[in-house]
Amino acid sequence: MLRRNAHQLGLATSVAVILALAACGDGGGGDTSGTGGGSSGVGAGNPTSSGVGAGTPTSSGNVDPTTTSSGNVDPTTTSSGNVDPTTTSSGNVDPTTSAASGGGNCSPAVDITAPSGNPFADAHLFVDPGYVKKVDSSIAQVTDTALKAKMEKVKQIQTAFWLDRIEAIKELPAYLDAALKLQNELCEPVTALIVVYDLPNRDCFAEASNGELHLDQNGTQRYREEYIAPIKQILAAHSGQRIAAVIEPDSLPNIATNLGGKRCDETTAQSYRDNVAHTLKELNMPHVYQYIDAAHSGWLGWPDNQKKGAKIFAEVIKAAGSPANVRGFATNVANYTQLSYTAESYDQQDNPCFGEFDYVDAMASALSAEGLGDKHFIIDTSRNGVGNIREDWGYWCNNKGAGMGQRPKANPGGATNLDAFVWVKPPGDSDGVGQEGQPRYDLFCGKENADTRAPQAGQWFHEYFVECVKNANPAL
Ligand code: BGC
């Protein structure tokens, strides 16, 4: 899935522009149009700027691993128990939950109001028990005690719970119940993090994460009735806790730059707009915080692309009725782009945004120009700890040498309205199958920098997890 950018980079062999640009996205960037094109690289625009790169060194520094935890645990607190997500004959999940919307013995009761509207602030960031199981499977396979100890630390870090197919919804009530149970034990807000990711004709510019729903097979109806409707019910039944939701990675960015390429035709583009708007509208609840996927610096970093993206985001939000809970945007989801400039080996092609901090600043301005000056950002730092690992900025699949990046953290600073560093892509989950001939094989998963031993997207890739742990920066 995610992050196709070779096309945005376009003519990969063109002018090796070394840039500078202090102000990403304003001025110095030249006239990059970056329209569509496919990995053959059509339409990279017209790089004009030059100048010598500056940029700030990669930040590192120790970030306090996530969570604050603390608080007194009250062992007497009752849990709401696991909800049986009984599937009905129609395949719909029955989201009936128990006392999922609050409760507990905390005195005073936990106030889940987010400080300044930031759901990650002053909260414990809930760790997905499903991810912990995957990490445990890796711990069982290694003998090196130092490595094991590092892996143990990963089990304290929040990663997102991906609703990547209808079937996955069955696990959502139990996931949220467990977060609520913890909230009632800690007597402090616990924030859950989910990803909504099942659009019809999903991943139209790549192969690796093509989804289960198709427009020509009643995809829109199924998306709305069998996917969004039950998610809405389940979230509504968990109104006593904070839930951050990343909305449909790649979809709107694909419309911005890849229209006409591969399977990103007009019909698909329109359906992405309509269905994302539908989702934003349906999931508009005060305890839910929606972050629309906004690609990353190596994709919508060029000024023209920023503008196109911002315009589409604004149109879709408006079409949804400008829901109050659209908190902002998620960048770098499942990508490898670093926070700040590092000497990557790829040709940056006049892209003034070297890294995600620059990009967030630039997107904030572009969104302001569209009347969305109040939006906030989260950056996926799960695998961007190490730079200089790819020949081309557009490589997005299982890049060898990757390391975990900054730990999830609220209000980390560094860019405009930045709510948090988050780990959306669970490190160790594959980006896409690496062997040619397998279903959903994408050429990017066979590139020179890709680890071609990879299983299907989303499946656990132990060897890759080991690498991400060993290369973590900051170290685990
Ligand atoms: C896959 C999803 C998976 C997600 C998280 C995506 O690339 O398509 O199936 O849930 O990554 O690993």
Per-residue pLDDT of the chain (476 residues; tens, 9 = 90+): 444 443 333 322 222 222 333 336 433 332 233 322 222 222 222 222 222 222 222 222 232 333 333 333 332 233 333 333 333 333 333 333 333 445 578 999 999 999 999 999 999 999 999 999 999 999 999 999 999 999 999 999 999 999 999 999 999 999 999 999 999 999 999 999 999 999 999 999 999 999 999 999 999 999 999 999 999 999 999 999 999 999 999 999 999 999 999 999 999 999 999 999 999 999 999 999 999 999 999 999 999 999 999 999 999 999 999 999 999 999 999 999 999 977 666 678 889 998 999 999 999 999 999 999 999 999 999 999 999 999 898 999 999 999 999 999 999 999 999 999 999 999 999 999 999 999 999 999 999 999 999 999 999 999 999 999 999 999 99
Q: Is residue 358 part of an annotated ligand binding site?
A: no
Q: Is residue 460 part of an annotated ligand binding site?
A: no
Count of CB atoms situated within 10 Å of the CB of 274: 15
The CA-based angle 392-361-203, given to 5 degrees, is 50
Burial 290-300 (b: 16+ CB within 10 A, else e): bbbbbbbbbbb
Q: Is residue 302 part of an annotated ligand binding site?
A: no
| Ordered structural domains, the chain, with CATH | 5-470 (3.20.20.40)
8 A C-beta contact, residue 179 and residue 130: no
Concatenated DSSP letters of 275-338: HHHHHHHHT--TTEEEEEE---HHHH-SHHHHHHHHHHHHHHHHHTT--TTEEEEEESTT----
| 266-282 and 303-319 helices, crossing angle to 10° | 60
Q: Is residue 299 part of an annotated ligand binding site?
A: yes
Prediction pTM value: 0.83
> Ligand 1: distance of its center to the CA of 206 in Å?
13
Q: Is residue 335 part of an annotated ligand binding site?
A: yes
Cross-strand partners of 196: 163, 247
8 A C-beta contact, residue 56 and residue 343: no
> Ligand 1: distance of its center to the CA of 111 in Å?
33
* Token pair belonging to 208: 């690796």
Mutation probe of ligand 1 site: the residue of 163, 194, 209, 212 with most atoms within 8 A of C-beta: 209
SS3 state of residue 37: coil
Q: Please name the residue whose Cα sits nearest to atom 8 of ligand 1.
A: 209
> Ligand 1: distance of its center to the CA of 305 in Å?
25
**Which of these, 246, 190, 241, lies nearest to 67 by C-alpha position?**
190
Burial 426-459 (b: 16+ CB within 10 A, else e): bbbbbbbbbeeeeebbbebbbbebbbeebbbbbe
Q: Please name the residue whose Cα sits nearest to atom 3 of ligand 1.
A: 458
Q: Please name the residue whose Cα sits nearest to atom 9 of ligand 1.
A: 458
Report the atom number in ligand 1 closest to the C-alpha of 2: 7
> Ligand 1: distance of its center to the CA of 332 in Å?
14
Q: Please name the residue whose Cα sits nearest to atom 5 of ligand 1.
A: 458
Indicate which residues carry an active-site annotation. 203, 250, 431
Q: Please name the residue whose Cα sits nearest to atom 10 of ligand 1.
A: 458
Ligand 1 site residues, Cβ closer than 6 angstroms: 1, 162, 164, 209, 334, 425-426, 429, 431, 457-458
> Ligand 1: distance of its center to the CA of 430 in Å?
7
